[in-house]
Chain A
């Protein structure tokens, strides 16, 4: 029985570490490399914490196994009565507290850059690209007319889309996140962006897609029976393509069905 438990407590930690190491190679890890500069920094923070925690984990597991092994020997030795050790207690309070304090301070600037509005990149803050209104179970987007600044209030010239957010690539962009009904969460896994949408609030969220491409947008706050299928896509385009896409959207929005009478009036 003794060897069973000893093996158990040795094998599990070893397996955990092994899996963790091989996971990225086996595609069991993050969905992709972070697609945004801030995302890369978040990933590196994650890795840092992972290393610290792994070290601690290995250390404590070894200690546990040693204690198990040592104390499970059939011995007639009397138990050693201890009054506790003040020094030991101080050490194992101060050291972890120090580590945690280090982590807290080390990540502060990433947090601030991500969450504190005054630290958002200025160009993104000045010209939000869209208002994203989450509702059960889709994402409704409102863009300003090309050449105008997005206003909080709807404007007669605004452009509307649903489930497809078009943003320029390789530069920071900001959206206003709102929700029409319940809490949702604006989650771009590949860009490492996640922000809850709270009813009654307009929350600015910024991100930068390094490469042009399509990114997945999913809802990360259980919002009802359709939560699982509340997906959309974020399309990051190079600058001129972005402008062209906005022009196309504006044209479609003002379609009067007469210009191309005879063709399909769709798309």
Chain B
């Protein structure tokens, strides 16, 4: 074979490979991650859980908007008006909900004043009435008579007051696309904080699937608000790899926040379902094997499995309701932490009181100089899940990551540096990283502590020596003497007393 013939053949092969490559080597489809605990369930139950999750949330390409959840899925809502037309017809007089009016115009109005619904029309989902649960496609709108025209004709017109959603899921879709573009590589497809970049990061990106977030303005037991999530995305978290997305448009930010909440709800639902099935029903492979070896009958166990599988939709329904309730509660006034008094004026006296509070409550973790090197960072803590001690000394958060208490001398405040942000941290604590809450403490003392903390990076050596001495003496009088070590640590050494500035030209807040 001549060179020319060979090269022709190879060229044809190359084209073939190219086309095959477009298919065979294309990046794998995005998929939601299945929790370890779900995998450990016995196969019938595990499959049922996954199926139910798929039918309630879908997969990243075929999303399911579960209307039970308090997520803004997007779309234009409205209701039909009284119609004098008779069937078969495809024109319905409608009235859009007040907030939805602008959305409708923004989404569908064409430059020439007419309305453009795309080639296949915009999907219309009926929520109530005759056609509840069914979809049609809108192909036209007459603004004078306020009538929608659909592709499908119906015999019986929908009654007045039947509600619908036009092009439902727009916000969710847009949120998903934006999330995949901006957030996926760290936070992962399922929001599990395990994207491709995550392994290089410390602290690790947030895992949304426990439904808990650190930096929120709500009371300790409540969930995070949309606004808090929005702040984190907008301003970033200094000292971590979470950057600021200030340049995002407002509606994009809203879409991402909604998608993150949606992912969190999905993750938490799976987590709670697993908890129920493991702790209440004991349907894991391990436990079932144990039961069988203990003599329990196969038929009995199978009955329980079948019961659990049949009950799955109802369980999802109930847990979904509970989730919806708790997320909605977070948005209420009563969940927000509002300081009971205005901030106490920042003065040395105020900071001295704050210092005393700090010595009493905070030094175990934050250390006596606020460097984040308190005694708890050296003790071995117990893992609540397993009951065993962690392999490393120090503190761990609810996601199992090793964490350190904040070094307050750096002036880097992850949840925000406004006084109200620090107040929220003190009053509400930071549940996931085991920072206790001081909701029952006098708000004035909390403000004193805020003043003290904000001033720590600018503290001069020896500034609080007298205050510390006073504090330790009063403790001695009441009998405690184990703070000798603490007292020594708190006293500045000679070299420190002669140094001038207390902060290195450090990282910015």
Direct contact of A and B (CB under 8 A): yes
Q: Which residues of A does B touch, CB under 8 Å?
A: 131, 133, 135-138, 140, 142, 152-156, 160, 162-164, 180, 225-226, 229-233, 252-259, 261-262, 264-266
Cα distance, A239 to B317, chains bound together (Å): 58
CB contact between A265 and one of B217, B241, B343 (< 8 Å): that residue: B217
How far is it, in angstroms, between the C-alpha of A136 and the C-alpha of B339 when the chains are bound?
Answer: 34
Q: Are B507 and A180 in contact (CB under 8 A)?
A: yes
- Known contacts A180-B507, A225-B185; is-contact A255 B227 (Cβ 8 Å): no
Which residues does chain B contribute within 8 Å of A252, judged by CB atoms?
418
Whether A154 pairs with B185 at a CB distance below 8 angstroms is: no
User: By the criterion CB–CB under 8 Å, are B339 and A256 in contact?
Assistant: yes
Report B462-507 residues with CB < 8 Å from chain A CB.
501, 503, 505-507
**Residue from A137, A233, A255 within 8 A of B420 (CB atoms):** A255
Q: How far is the CB of B463 from chain A (nearest CB, A)?
A: 13
Contacts of B417 in A (CB 8 A): 160, 253
Say whether A160 contacts B339, CB under 8 Å: no
Chain B, Cβ-Cβ closest to A158: B509
User: Is there contact, CB below 8 Å, between B246 and A164?
Assistant: yes
Q: Which of B230, B246, B509 contacts A160 (CB 8 A)?
A: B509
Interface pair B420/A138, CB less than 8 Å apart: no
Complex contact B420–A156 (CB within 8 A): no
Assess the A138–B342 pair: CB atoms within 8 A. no
Is B338 interfacial (CB 8 A cutoff)?
Answer: yes
B458 close to A (CB within 8 Å): yes
Determine if B503 and A154 form an interchain contact, defined as CB atoms under 8 angstroms apart.
Answer: yes
B247 within 8 A of A: yes
Which residues of chain B (416-454) have a CB below 8 Å from chain A?
417-420, 423-424, 447, 454
- Residue pair A162, B420 in contact (C-beta under 8 Å): no
Known: A138-B236, A229-B182. A152 touches B505 (CB 8 A): yes
In the complex, what distance in Å separates the CA atom of A198 from the CA atom of B459? 29
Q: How far is the CA of A142 from the CA of B501 in the complex (A)?
A: 19
Contacts of B508 in A (CB 8 A): 131, 133, 140, 142, 154, 160, 180
Decide if B455 touches A255 in the complex (CB within 8 Å): no
| B394 at interface by CB-CB < 8 Å | no
The contact string, 1 if C-beta is below 8 Å from chain A, for chain B 42-75, is: 0000000000000000000000000000000000
Q: Flag if B507 contacts A258 (CB, 8 Å).
A: no
Closest Cβ of chain A to B208, distance in Å, is: 20
Interface positions of B from 131 to 168, Cβ below 8 Å from A: none
Cα–Cα distance between A253 and B507 once the two chains are bound (Å): 18
Q: Report yes or no: A153 in contact with B503, Cβ–Cβ below 8 A.
A: yes
Q: In this assembly, does B280 line the interface, its C-beta being within 8 Å of a C-beta of chain A?
A: no
Check B244 against A138 for contact (C-beta < 8 Å).
Answer: yes
CA A233 – CA B363 in complex, angstroms?
41
Asked if A225 meets B197 with Cβ closer than 8 Å, knowing A233-B247, A252-B418, A255-B418, the reply is yes
* Chain A residue nearest in CB terms to B457: A154
A142-B508, A154-B411, A265-B217 known, 8 other contacts, Cβ within 8 Å: A136-B241, A138-B243, A164-B246, A229-B182, A254-B343, A256-B339, A258-B341, A258-B420
> B247-278 toward A: CB 8 Å interface, digit per residue (1/0)?
10000000000000000000000000000000
Among candidates A160, A226, A258, residue contacting B243 with C-beta atoms closer than 8 Å = A226
What's the minimum C-beta distance from A233 to chain B, rounded to whole angstroms?
6
Question: When the two chains form their complex, are residues A258 and B247 in contact, meaning their CB atoms are under 8 A apart?
Answer: no
Contacts of A265 in B (CB 8 A): 217, 336, 338, 420
Q: Considering only CB atoms, which chain B residue lies closest to A229 in the complex?
A: B182
Q: Please, which residues of chain A bring their CB within 8 A of the CB of B336?
A: 265
Query: In whole angstroms, what is the CA distance A118 to B246 when docked?
Result: 35
Q: How far is the CA of A85 from the CA of B423 in the complex (A)?
A: 84
Closest to B235 in A: A162
Enumerate chain B residues within 8 angstroms of A253, measured Cβ to Cβ.
417-418
